[in-house]
Amino acid sequence: SLKIVNAPPSVLFQEAENQIFHSNVAQEVAFGLKLQRLSAEEISRRTQAALRLCQLTDVAEAHPLDLHAAQRRMVAVASLEAMAPPVLLLDEPSRDFDAHWLTVFEHWLATCRARGTSVVAISHDAAFTRRHFSRVVRLHNGAITPRNIIKDTPSDIRP
């Protein structure tokens, strides 16, 4: 069944450092919740849950820009997780991840989908796309191609 969501998407930028501005990971994750004027208890609960899911509890007090690229990206992901938006727009979502952090990210993505989050992604990573999306629109030379690359063979998909 089709669910219509009237909400602006929450965005994961291609370059996570462009959406991080707090000097502490936990403060960064809590920021959006504070803007929503949630109670201190709710902010703490959701921040800690997001840090756990994104495997960032051990760096909660660190400066986000002191972390390696994959962890910085997961700080941005944890900020989205804390907000639990109904719609996500992910720009090159698999960028900057080694095997470990890609697994953490993919677990988060599965968690989002399980709670009913609509996910739209822009990606050049065909393998990632095949694993996580049931419908793909391919843009080629400025036009949408009329095929579903999820059903195409890997040799039909160019990176």
Q: Say how many C-beta atoms besides its own lie within 10 A of residue 146's C-beta.
A: 7
Number of helices followed by number of strands (H, E) in the chain: 5, 5
For 10-122, CATH number out of 2.40.50.140, 3.40.718.10, 3.40.50.720, 3.40.50.300 equals: 3.40.50.300
Alpha carbons within 13 angstroms on the beta-carbon side of residue 66 total 9
CA angle 101, 92, 5 (to 5 degrees): 105
* Unique residue bearing structure tokens 């208890």: 41
Instruction: Find the range with the poorest average confidence among 49-63, 78-92, 120-134, 145-159.
Output: 145-159
Dihedral (Cα; 112, 116, 119, 125), 10-degree rounding: 60
With a cut of 60, say whether residue 1 has pLDDT above it. no
With a cut of 60, say whether residue 26 has pLDDT above it. yes
Q: In the structure, what pLDDT confidence band is assigned to residue 42 with cuts at 50, 70 and 90?
A: very high
pLDDT at 140: 81
The whole-number average pLDDT for the span 116-145 is 88
Task: Summarize pLDDT for 43-88 with one digit per residue, the tens.
Answer: 999 999 999 999 999 999 999 999 999 999 999 999 999 999 999 9
For 93-123, letters b (16+ CB in 10 Å) and e give: bbbbbeeebbebbbebbeebeeeebbeebeb
